[in-house]
Amino acid sequence: MWRRIEGRFRRKKARIELAKKMLELGLRAGKDGIYIDDVKIPDLAMARALGIDRRVVKHTVKQILEDPLLASIFTKLRPAGPDLSSIADALGYSVLEIRADPYRYGIVASVSGILAKHGIVIRQILSDDPDLTPDPKLTVVVEGKVPASVLKEIGSSGVVKSVTLKL
């Protein structure tokens, strides 16, 4: 998917970076700018955050809205919600970072099955898109502490390359 999107911007680096950030954060293109859900983000704020000219933001949104493929994607994006991994400690949760072949099926099923077998409740699962992230990972936020034996079992499941308990 990303290659098709990137190709539409014909090597315009700033527009590509803006599109990537929009996908990453779930920001949508609207008739008069960029939105996070129903809140408009000022062009200047977006430009400053990315270190680009504010006119690039305006022109990128215009291009997105005029291109049927880009419009079909960027006008429907929505944020995925809060990432609990950054506040897990305050909530009494643990965070597992799992690396595996992102194109292999059964990763989430295997990890969640092992956690369920040990009575560990999953609060959130976040998966990086391998087309947008150079080193994609699966982040699993769980209630309480995860015993070392469970980490070892996940690591030796056959579908996981590595599992790290994030502190």
DSSP state, 165? E
Asked whether residue 167 carries a pLDDT value surpassing 80, the answer given is: no
155: closest CA among 94, 107, 123? 107
Per-residue pLDDT at 3: 85
pTM of the model: 0.83
107-152 residue pLDDT tens: 999 999 999 999 999 999 999 988 878 789 999 999 999 999 999 9
The arrangement of strands across the sheet holding 33-36 comes to: 28-30, 33-36, 39-41
* Domains of the chain, first to last: 2-74 (1.10.10), 84-166 (3.30.70.260)
10-54 residue pLDDT tens: 889 999 999 999 998 999 999 999 999 999 999 999 999 999 999
**3-state class of 48 per DSSP?**
helix
Confidence of residue 4 (pLDDT cuts 50, 70, 90): confident
